[in-house]
Structure formats: C-alpha cells, structure tokens
Amino acid sequence: MPVVVRSYTSPTLVLLAYDWADGRDRPDFLGFAIKRTPGFETEPTSWLPNRVGFDGPPPDQADLPSDSAPIQKFYWWDARITDADRGSTFTYRVIPVVGSPSSLTLLDEQGSTIQVSIPQIEVNGIGSYFNRAVVSSQAFSKEFPDLDTAAQQQAARAWLGNGMQLAVPNFLDRAAKKAIDGAIYHLTDTTWIIPALQSHPGQVSLTYNHTRSDTTSDQAIDTLVSAGRPAEDFHTRTHAHIMHNKFLVRVGDDGTAEAVLAGSANFTPEGLSAQANLLHTFESADLAALYLTREQQLSADPSLTATQRDQTGWSDPVAVGDATIRVFFPPEPKDSRESLDTVVAAINAAQHSVLLCAFDPTDSALLDAVFAADDAGKMMRALVNRVPSTAPSGDPERADVAAEILIMDHAEKDHDVVGFSGFKKGDTPTGFAPERILWPKENPKIMVRVHHKFVVIDAEGDHPVLFTGSANFSGNSLHNNDENLLEITDCPRLAGMYMAEFLRLYEHYRARMAFDRRAAGAPEEFILTGDNTWTTAYFMSGSPQFKARQAMAGTG
C-alpha cells in the first residue's frame, strides 16, 4: 500500500504528515526519504535534510540528505521557505526506505507525491505572522556565527522575527493618514514599532499598562509626546492587575473601525524575536469595531470591579474571509468562567487532536480536559514555558502548584509535554548558540521563550476550533487582567497553519530534552536505528506517536 501524505502550511513553513501501513511488518524499514521539486536555491530537486545519521549527528553539523539518512518520524517539515516562495507551488515525494544502513533501497513504487502551495502572509483578509524565536538551532548558528556588533544583533533579531517585526509597521502603512487606536501592555521596541508610531501621519491614541510596579511603557509614551503627539491621546490603565492586551485598530475618517491587529506578542524587542509569539491582522470592520469599543472603555480607566460587572460574554459570530470569529474580553466576575469553559467544552468535544501552547497555563479544568483527551486516545501535545524538573513546593490545592504537578507528571510519563526548562544555562550542544543569550540591556527575568497563548482542536479535520489571543489560560487572565480571547472556527487553513508552526517549535524543544537525556547517558538519542525498532511507538496502540501518526495523516 503506498504512502499516505498530507500537508499543513504557513507562509514560512511546510509540514508534511504521512503514514505507511506496510511499514509495521517490514523489519528492514528504516524511514522515509523526501524529495522537493524545485530544490533548494537553484537546484532542480533536493532531498529534505536530516540532522542525524546512522552514526549520530555529523561532527561538522552538516545536513544529511534524507535519501542517505532516512527520516525516522511520521512527519517532517521544510523550513527552507523564503519570502520569495510565497505563492509558489512545491512538489514533495515521500518514499519509504528499507534495507540496512550500508545498503539502502528507496521503494519509489510505494512513494506518494503531493503538491503544496505556499500561502501569502494575508489570505482572505487575515494576515498571519509567526516568529522563529529559536536561538539555539543549527540554522541560527550558521546564519549568525558572531553577534558582536549592533548590526549583527539587529540582523539576528530580524531573522528571529521571521517577518513578524514588520506586522505593526505594515499595518500602519496601510492606514495611511487614518487614526490608530490601541491597547498595549508593554511598548519598548525602538527599532520597528515606536518609529512607525512616531512617523505615522494620522492620529495615534493608545491605552497602556501603568501601575505602581510597572511603568515599562512610560519611556515610549514620553518619546511619542516629545515627537509632537498630543499627551491627551495616551491613557494610563491603572486599575486591572495588568492591562495585558496587545492590539491596534485602524479607524476610518468617519470614526468607524476598519481593521484590527492582535495577538500574543508584546510590542518589545524580545516579544517580536526571542519569545515565541504570533500576530494576526483582520480586515473586518465588524471585528475591529468590537476592539475599538473595548479600547474606548479601557481608556477611561474603569475599576476592576466595573470591568467585571460590565462583562457581556462572547460576541456574536463575525465572518472574516474563510473564518468565523467570536471575541471575549476578560476579566469576568469571580463567580463566572464563561470564556475558559467554552475552551474546555471544545477540548472535551475533540474528535482527533488537541494542541496546547501557552506561557503559564494554570486553569485546572482546562489542563484536566487537555490530558483527558490524551487518555481518551486522541493526539495531544503541549508546549509550555516551564516544565518543573522537581516536585513543586506549596499547597497542591493552589491552582499554580496543581498545574505544575499535572504538567510535570505528564511530561515524565509520556514526554508529550515539553518546555523551555530543557535549555539549561551552560548546557548547549557544541556549535550552537546558547538559548539564554543576553542581548544588550536584556532583562533575563522577562526573557521567557514560550509566550504563545493558543489551543488548537482537530486541526487536521474539517471543523477545527482555535482559541488564540492575549490570555494565558490562568486565574489572573480570567478574573483580574484586561485581555482578549478569539475563537476561530471552521477554518482548516488557519488551524493547519497553527499545527505546522506549533510542531516546528515543539520538535525543537523536544530535541533539547532528548539532548539532555543523551548527555545523561542515553546513547540511543540522536542516532538512527539500523532496523524498524524506531517504529515501535508509532505502531503501539495508544502511544502518543501512534495517535499523532493517525491523526495528522488522516489514517485513523
């Protein structure tokens, strides 16, 4: 039976998921070779590379073509997609490889071919920006062997930004002389965002977080005022625990909203580059109007009690291109959890898969639902900023302690929850830049690396559900912070993009965990097996690999 192959794409990435049922019964099944047409740079064809071989990683960190170093996974990605590739079509052929390490045979008659079109940044009125946020990688080390000068550091920031650093400038450019209203948690980026706000020919009105303990954005506001912006156009938000929104609204000459930019990224250098984040733009007057109304409410600096009391729940559905979208603006009253209960209900209704990517999720009902999906035989993956290495101290009835226990237990049991904790200071593979690299004036306390806040349900299905925004799926984001949470339904294109970008990050963090295990004495890590034992987990009913293989390739 030939290979079954599917694709998931973003503007900078192609993720291929495939299955080969005959591989279960082939003791000499060694993996897959994947050919891309056209190839890299000017080559007519190229084999997607592997980073490990039958003798382990090459000493010079060179790529190994997959026809000689087969890929021993049931999904792989092509990250060598450039800006110029958007709108282009690539052909991928996935071929089973059998034999022995010294004598490989490609079973081309069992291979399958798929054509993949690379999407533009904006499709159907929805712009999608995901940064790379991966310092400790071979690609980063090869691209930036030195980071000594300001120009080198700036280029590295832009590479990590992956185009997301231009989301705000491009949004402002499209606004021409029109007004911009926004609600911003932290505004410190002096390379792309503050200059764009400063030079924008139209009015700029911002509500920004400002408390006794957090005046992070004050300097940027002073800069804008000194450049001639009226001081009365900037409004301090002092009464929530934090005003955690990160959004801008384009306003027409008649005062009505036209479009909105929103996501997880703070408007800071680290938010755009080293922290894993995303931003969306929506060319929708109806959706933008909801955000504009919210910004106008917050600009008056109402009390936390007032924002809780005036909570009106989920908005009516808004059609934006090929997506149906609702938005919720926390905080909710203390006895209400409508926003998160909607997420939990969607997870409980999952048919195939659940992906959680969040900085610090502490809502126990949400975590219980995510891990119950795994127990029920669905594909589950979670990427968080911190997986505890030891049992947390404190009262296990406390939400944050209970969440740490749940996350640690699952990470240790199935290795399907990973986090930034694997990137230990001073413990970096040879030739790699340390992930905890300190840029000039960087505060290591705020340099989290997984800053996303999204849940994707049934991304490989016809009716996926996606939750994304600024909220961390925690008690504070539910009851104490100004936030925005989007529900996006019936948009397989966008859900597949989230799956592709999630797995790019997840596999990077998972590889670092494997590196740590290898350093601790597990030699089987980072080396290809010479027989089909690598497939054991993939064909073991109920294992995380088994569930992922079937869900992503659609063979379950």
For residue 251, count other CB atoms closer than 10 A to its CB.
Answer: 23
| Shared-domain flag, residues 91 and 181 | no
Residue 513 banded pLDDT, cuts 50, 70, 90: low
Q: In the predicted model, what is the mean pLDDT of the chain?
A: 90
Residue-level pLDDT at 455: 98
Last residue of a domain, one of 119, 149, 181: 119
Same domain? For 114 and 254 the reply is no
* Structural Rg of the chain based on CA atoms: 24
Question: Rounded to an integer, what distance in angstroms lies between the CA atom of residue 23 and that of residue 401?
Answer: 43
Query: Considering only 90-94, 325-329, 355-359, 383-387, which range has the smallest mean pLDDT?
Result: 383-387
The verdict on residue 376 lying in a domain is yes
Do 133 and 86 have their domain in common?
no
Name the E strands within 102-256: 103-106, 112-117, 122-123, 126-130, 179-184, 204-209, 234-237, 246-251
Residue 362 within any structural domain of the chain: yes
Q: What does the block give as tokens for 456?
A: 């994707």
Domain membership flag for residue 536: no
Using the 3D structure, point to which of 119, 151, 174 is the last residue of a domain.
Answer: 119
Task: Tell me whether residue 535 is in a domain.
Answer: no
65 part of a folded domain: yes
**370 and 494 share a domain?**
yes
- Asked if residue 556 is part of any domain, the answer here is no
Give the pLDDT band of residue 497 (cuts 50, 70, 90): very high
What are the Cα distances from residue 358, in Å, to 309, 404, 416, 454, 456?
27, 13, 14, 6, 11
pLDDT, residue 68, reads: 97
Task: Give the predicted TM-score (pTM) of the model.
Answer: 0.94
Nearest-angstrom CA–CA distance, 85 and 95: 24
pLDDT for 45: 98
458 by DSSP, 3-state: which? coil
Output DSSP code: residue 531.
Answer: S
pLDDT for res 285: 98
| For residues 304-321, average pLDDT | 97
Question: What does the pLDDT read at residue 142?
Answer: 83
pLDDT surpasses 90 at 64: yes
- Residue 452's pLDDT band, with cuts at 50, 70 and 90, is very high
What's the CATH number where 327 sits?
A: 3.30.870.10
Q: Give the relative orientation of helices 364-375 and 338-348 as an angle to the nearest 10 degrees.
A: 0
| Domain annotation covers residue 75 | yes
Is-contact 165 158, C-beta < 8 A?
A: yes
Number of structural domains found in the chain: 2
- Structure tokens that stand for 213 in this block: 């303990």
Same domain flag for 84 and 131: no
- Whether residue 398 is predicted with pLDDT greater than 80 in this model: the reply is no
Q: Judge if 65 and 134 occupy the same domain.
A: no
Same domain, 135 and 237: yes
Sign for the pseudo-dihedral over CA of 265, 271, 273, 277: negative
Average pLDDT value for residue range 153-161: 93
Beta strands in 185-340 (DSSP E): 204-209, 234-237, 246-251, 257-263, 278-282, 318-320, 323-328
Question: SS3 for 122?
Answer: strand
CATH number assigned to the domain comprising residue 94 = 2.60.40.10
Residues 187, 314, single domain; the answer is yes
Residues 374 and 440 in one domain: yes
527 to 54, 79, 94, 533: CA distances (angstroms): 6, 21, 21, 12
Q: Residue 98: which of 74, 126, 67 has the closest Cα? A: 67
Query: Which residues, in sequence order, are CB contacts of 222 under 8 Å at separation 6+?
Result: none
User: In this predicted structure, what is the pLDDT of residue 399?
Assistant: 62
pLDDT of residue 396: 55
Residues 109 and 246 in one domain: no
Q: Does residue 108 share a domain with residue 254?
A: no
Domain region containing 158: 123-508
- Give a yes or no: residue 551 inside a domain: no
pLDDT of res. 419: 73
255-274 pLDDT, tens per residue? Answer: 999 999 999 999 999 999 98
Domain boundary among 466, 483, 508: 508
- Residues 331, 459: Cα–Cα separation, whole Å: 28
| CA atoms in the 13 A half-sphere facing the CB of 483 | 28
- Does 435 lie in the same domain as 359? yes
